[in-house]
Amino acid sequence: MHEKINYVEFSAVDLSATKAFFTQAFGWEFVDYGEDYSAFSNQGLDGGFFQSTLSSTTANGGALVVLYSQDLETSLQNVEKAGGVIVRPIFSFPGGRRFHFIEPSGNELAIWSDK
């Protein structure tokens, strides 16, 4: 679509650990493009991870990418089992509930549900 968000790229301090986390927690699959870049698709929005020494959190002004879940408690358990760190436990907000987590490369994401 013309001038719509089409792709998102994340930094990754540890590209291998980040790929393993998203594969274990959410079943994502990756295609590597060299040693410093790995792409994912079919996750609501396509994107990739690039090797970097930086990470993104809301505390440092980073955008918050939010995933949707039909079962928030199970998603939280999957994040923890895969090595994610919960930085904001499940809370309610107008329209639903969500939690925030840090993946192995230090990027903060959230998962929400309307259930």
b/e map of 58-92 (b: 16 or more CB within 10 Å)?
eeeebeeeebebeebeebbebbeebebeeeeebee
* pLDDT tens-digit readout, 22-69: 999 999 999 999 999 999 999 999 999 999 999 999 999 999 999 999
Q: How far apart (Å, rounded) are the C-alpha atoms in residues 110 and 19? A: 17
Q: What is the pLDDT of residue 1?
A: 82
Give the global pTM: 0.95
Q: What is the pLDDT of residue 39?
A: 98
Terminal Cα-to-Cα distance of the chain (whole angstroms) = 30
* pLDDT tens-digit readout, 66-97: 999 999 999 999 999 999 999 999 999 999 99
Half-sphere exposure of 42 (CA within 13 A, CB side): 6
Nearest to 114 by CA among 87, 85, 93: 93
Summarize the confidence of residues 8-13 as an average pLDDT. Answer: 97
